[in-house]
Structure formats: structure tokens, C-alpha cells
Structure 1
Amino acid sequence: MSKRLPRRGATLAKAIIEEYQPKSVEDMQNALKEIFGPMFEAMLNGEMENHLGYMSNERGEKDTANRRNGYTPKVLKTSAGEVPISVPRDRDGSFTPQ
């Protein structure tokens, strides 16, 4: 009989529970909202790097004159409630996250 392998997110789930120690469903939803924001922002930053063609803080000559230009605050409405995030923007205003 083979031993059952842990699911991919099991280690992450244990770490979240250890860190936040939720006592109720509401506590768990709040923990997930707190985690979701930075995770979504990281994906948006990856999209920005792809859009501009260079990594954040990359030294040297760039292929484009367009640069990062701060962040715009937004609020995402999720099934767990509203989550505030910071959306990166570029100088040209041509970045449209997907």
C-alpha cells in the first residue's frame, strides 16, 4: 500500500494556521484576505515587468523609455470581502493589468 503524498498547498495551509491561529471562520477569512493582497500585488508586479521588458531595479540600458511610476490604490471586492491593493503604473499610462 502506498503512502499518501501531501497535497501541494498543505504545507502552506499549515504555515498560515500556525501564523494566524484562527479561532473562527471569520478569523480564517481575515487571514486569507491579508495574504491575498500581497500575492495579487506580486502577480501585478510580474505583469509590469513583462510589460516594460525589464525587472524592477534592473541596472543598465533599457529597451524602452517607459518606466515605472509608483502605485495606485485600489480595492478588490472578493467573496471574502474587500481587499485593498496597490496597482503598479507606468509613465506612459499603457499598463493595463489582465
Structure 2
Amino acid sequence: MDEELPHVDQLYDYGSAIRKIMYTTNAVKSIHSSFRKVTKKGAFPNENALLKVLYSRVRELEVKWDGGHIRDWAMVMNQLLLNDQIKERVLKYFE
């Protein structure tokens, strides 16, 4: 069975804090829900009008989520830095 699902085994190479971030989709669901709310009431005369509404909503969400945090981020960073395969990629964003 391990041979059939190697990608599942790879998930357990990481600590629990990292795994939780990898499989959590709450942010994606939140954005999708927000898009549905702003688009469900109206008919849009053209595609450009719809894109403007969605862009406006993205900007609102960006302001709302600015300064947000990931739970247990310090633990996640420690686990990432302990993994030799990922460490270099993580550190390049802090230079």
C-alpha cells in the first residue's frame, strides 16, 4: 500500500504544525464564500464588470487580513528550518 500512495507518506516527513497548514483550506473556502456573496445578487452586463467587483473584494479582503497570523507560526518555522530539503528555500525569503 505504501507504494500506491507515496505522496501520503511524504506528508508525514513534516511536523504536525506544518501538516496542518498544508491540508487546511479555510482561507480558500473563505475567499470563495466572499466571492459568492458579492456576485449572487446581481447580473453583470459584461465580464469586465464582474472582474471589477471581484478585484474590489480582493482588495477589501487584503486590508481585512493584513497583519493576520498563522497559528503556531513559530513552531512551523522551527519545523521548516529543521528540514534540510526546505531550509534553504525558507531562508531566502528572510534575507
> Scaled by the length of structure 1, what TM-score is found?
0.37
- Bigger relative contact order, structure 1 or 2 (CA pairs below 8 A, ≥6 apart): 2
> Scaled by the length of structure 2, what TM-score is found?
0.38
